[in-house]
């Protein structure tokens, strides 16, 4: 939400900063609970059961649980950034591709063909699904041009306002929307003119 608000306000740097803060905070929280899960892996199941079989099973799966906690702390934040930046289509493709085309088949192969049982199924879903999705979203976020995203956001707002203007029923509403449209266009031009050219080099005095 914060990223979407900053992009809508034309603050590309603020959107980038909000993304960094969110990812770092979620990573720290995930690492904390990941460490707790590994350290107390032999005692976690005692909260729910005293069965020896349950204790052994939880001890086996504790590392997968810790990995899942860490990844699920970061991945939703990256997905939220992507959705807030208007990349909903990409997020949908990544979700379907990672979980259903890679993660699920890998889990089935490890679980049934290699006879790894629950560990194989869960491991396949984690490393073939969640981990891969997190890596892809992280790469997209790192290589994002936030100033360009601000421009795209303004173009989207202009298109929406133009559509509303054409479908407006009263002259007063059309005039108000026309003024808003002109103001947005002027803002885009000012930002374009005020931004430094990538080819411009600072002069060096000898």
Every domain of the chain and the residues it spans: 2-144, 148-194
Dihedral, 158, 160, 163, 164 alpha carbons, nearest 10: -110
pLDDT score of 155: 64
Give the residue carrying structure tokens 């740097």: 13
The gap from C-alpha 62 to its chain's centroid, in whole angstroms, comes to: 26
Q: What is the mean pLDDT of the chain?
A: 81
Q: Could you report the per-residue pLDDT of 21-71, keeping only the tens digit for each?
A: 999 999 999 999 999 999 998 888 888 888 888 888 888 899 999 999 999
Contact 171, 41 (CB under 8 A): no
Among candidate residues 6, 33, 135, the one with its CA nearest the CA of residue 75: 135
Sign of CA dihedral 47, 53, 56, 59: negative
Q: What's the burial of 44, exposed, middle or buried (CB within 10 Å: 0-12/13-18/19+)?
A: middle
Please tell me the distance from the alpha carbon of residue 54 to that of residue 50, in angstroms, as a whole number.
7
pLDDT score of 192: 59
Sign of CA dihedral 116, 122, 125, 130: negative
* 166 vs 44 pLDDT, higher one: 44
Give the residue carrying structure tokens 């054409």: 166
Does the pLDDT of residue 151 top 60, yes or no? Answer: yes
């Amino acid at each position: 939400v914060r990223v979407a608000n900053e992009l809508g306000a034309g603050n590309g740097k603020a959107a980038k900063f909000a993304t960094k803060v969110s990812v770092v905070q979620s990573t720290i929280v995930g690492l904390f609970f990941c460490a707790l899960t590994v350290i107390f892996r032999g005692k976690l199941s005692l909260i729910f059961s005293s069965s020896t079989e349950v204790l052994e099973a939880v001890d086996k799966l504790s590392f997968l649980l810790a990995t899942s906690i860490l990844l699920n702390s970061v991945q939703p934040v990256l997905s939220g950034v992507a959705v807030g930046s208007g990349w909903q289509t990409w997020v949908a493709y990544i979700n379907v591709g990672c979980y259903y085309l890679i993660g699920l088949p890998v889990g089935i192969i490890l679980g049934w063909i290699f006879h790894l049982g629950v560990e194989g199924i869960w491991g396949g879903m984690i490393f073939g699904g969640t981990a891969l999705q997190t890596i892809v979203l992280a790469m997209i976020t790192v290589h994002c041009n936030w100033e360009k995203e601000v421009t795209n956001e303004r173009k989207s707002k202009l298109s929406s306002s133009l559509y509303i203007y054409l479908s407006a029923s009263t002259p007063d509403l059309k005039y108000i929307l026309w003024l808003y449209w002109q103001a947005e266009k002027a803002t885009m031009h000012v930002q374009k003119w005020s931004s430094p050219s990538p080819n411009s080099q600072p002069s060096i005095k000898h």
